[in-house]
Amino acid sequence: MAKRDSGLRFQPSGGTRTTQVPTGKKQRLKIERLANDGRGIGFVEGRTWFVAGSLAGEEVEARVLGAHGKVVEARTERVFQASPLRRPAPCKHFGRCGGCSVQQMPHDEQLALKQRMLAEQLSRVASVEPEEWAAPLTGDEFAYRRRARIAVRWDVRSKQLDVGFRAASSQDIIAIEECPVLVQALQPIMTALPAMLRSLGKPQALGHVELFSGSANALLLRHTAPLAENDLATLKAFCDAHGAQLWLHGEGEPQPVDPSAALGYRLEPWNLALAYRPGDFVQVNAQVNTAMISQALDWLEPRADERVLDLFCGLGNFALPLALKSREVVAVEGVETMVQRATSNAASNGLHNVKFYQADLSQPLDKAAWVAEGFRAVLLDPPRDGAFEVVRNLKALGAERLLYVSCNPATLARDTVELIRQGYRLKRAGILDMFPQTAHVEAMALFEASK
């Protein structure tokens, strides 16, 4: 029997479906203000546009990168009316490469943006302002990055190897001849790298490349299949010509081709040398890292008779300088291999008053044996997720002073709420300009127990 047509037609809840703005569409609009990530905000026909590469007060032509609901993400294609603050982007890849998103701003405006982001999060989430704002901690505006990850992908259709950095808001790879934020020691390697990789006999087996500069320069190649002898010889010759170590990462951990090769960096003010291996976390900005450690010691004021706790300690970046000032340092990290390397770093520097432990820092620490004696001072440097479970128990440790180094103002503000609830006050805070030319905000905050 034929099915009867009831004549009913169903619509999505809420009425007529809104027509989406197509990717690639160009739109002229006025930028009203800046978002916290440095993108300009404009409004057209009830939609909010987030436009990369624009400044407040400008009139621009924006190209749509994507849209969802009433939000449109776009990038600046042309500037019809420029802000007096706009400067020519120092990098010719600006606007296409996804790495440095705020080059159109003078450096002092970048710092002001980051300061506003931190202050806004603390005010909106924690309803607090520090008793004292510290001046921004800064270093060189360019040539600061001592580590870089370079994308490598074999394009099956064009049968060619793409080498460069990821594009903004896309998986495309932008070919890069030079990078103004890369340290000078790595620039020649960066420039010559694409041609060398394309000369290899089996480029389909290449994953990505990482460059490092510290006590030595190094090139790490990730590969998904064994390398041919000719390709390995080409890689060795390239690294020899550029005075760089060659590390390979197939199955298992990265390994140096020369077993005697070692990487590391120095903390000159404290005469310390820290070893690391590709894959370990190290701060990419050596200059600001040294200044950050110095400021942390100044703010936390560790004393010769005190026991200090360092959480998320990594390779010992803070723990070793702290050990020079304190009776004892207990340093805790979630990754066992990092604990082992940090322990070796302490031994090689002749420091015997610092002990490293592995623990899951997303869980409460009250049952750990090393907690029992308590701590007068605590330093923590968590990842972007913050340290909520850790800070919930800090008052019980007897900590009078707490230094929080943050790479995410949102989770710092969230954790600040909990610290204030426990009776701490926000004594001092300020930004760390670890990544100039980007909107990424790092911050330092000092909390003290209320008397």
Range of lowest pLDDT (246-255, 273-282, 362-371) = 362-371
Mean pLDDT of 398-409: 96
Contact residues for 395 (Cβ-Cβ < 8 A; gap 6+): 422, 423, 424, 449
pLDDT tens digit string along 48-68? 999 999 999 999 999 999 999
pLDDT tens digit string along 227-257? 999 999 999 999 999 999 999 999 889 999 9
Q: pLDDT confidence of 95, banded at 50, 70, 90?
A: confident
Cα 396–chain centre separation: 31
Tell me, what's the pLDDT at 145? 97
67, β-bridge pairs:
72
Question: Would the pLDDT of 14 be above 60?
Answer: no
Work out whether strand 328-333 and strand 307-311 pair parallel, antiparallel, or are unpaired. parallel
- pLDDT more than 70, % of the chain: 96
| 147-263: in CATH 2.40.50.1070 | yes
Residue 259 to residue 244: CA distance in whole angstroms: 14
263, β-bridge pairs:
276
Name the class of domain 111-140+285-449: alpha beta
pLDDT tens digit string along 109-139? 999 999 999 999 999 999 999 999 999 999 9
Mean pLDDT of 277-304: 96
Q: Which helix (H) or strand (E) holds 337?
A: helix 336-348
Domain ranges in the chain with CATH number 2.40.50.1070: 147-263
Q: Which CATH number fits domain 23-86: 3.40.50.720, 3.40.1410.10, 2.40.50.140, 3.30.230.10?
A: 2.40.50.140
Asked about 97 being catalytic, the answer comes back as no
Q: pLDDT confidence of 287, banded at 50, 70, 90?
A: very high
Q: How far are the Cα atoms of 98, 103, 192, 215, 239 from residue 175, in angstroms, in the given order? A: 12, 19, 12, 28, 21
- The two tokens of residue 294 are 């110095």
Q: Are the C-beta atoms of 74 and 37 separated by less than 8 Å?
A: no
Contact residues for 254 (Cβ-Cβ < 8 A; gap 6+): 220, 247, 248, 277, 278, 279
Active-site residue (options: 97, 100, 179, 407): 407
Residue 147 to residue 443: CA distance in whole angstroms: 21
Domain ranges in the chain with CATH number 2.40.50.140: 23-86
Tell me, what's the pLDDT at 12? 47
333, β-bridge pairs:
358
Question: Would the pLDDT of 171 be above 90?
Answer: no
> Which has the closest alpha carbon to 160: 200, 191, 192, 220?
200
Residue 96 to residue 53: CA distance in whole angstroms: 10
**Residue 262 CB-half CA count within 13 A:** 8
Give, as one character, the DSSP assignment of residue 71. E
Work out whether strand 244-249 and strand 217-223 pair parallel, antiparallel, or are unpaired. parallel
Tell me, what's the pLDDT at 49? 97
Q: Are the C-beta atoms of 408 and 6 separated by less than 8 Å?
A: no
Tell me, what's the pLDDT at 370? 87
Cα 390–chain centre separation: 21
Which position has the token pair 């930028």? 31
- Output the CA torsion 117→118→119→123 (10° steps): 100
- pLDDT more than 90, % of the chain: 84
Residue 124 to residue 414: CA distance in whole angstroms: 10
Tell me, what's the pLDDT at 374? 87
Range of lowest pLDDT (137-146, 155-164, 289-298) = 155-164
Mean pLDDT of 63-86: 94
Average pLDDT, the chain: 93
Domain ranges in the chain with CATH number 3.40.50.150: 111-140+285-449
Tell me, what's the pLDDT at 129? 97
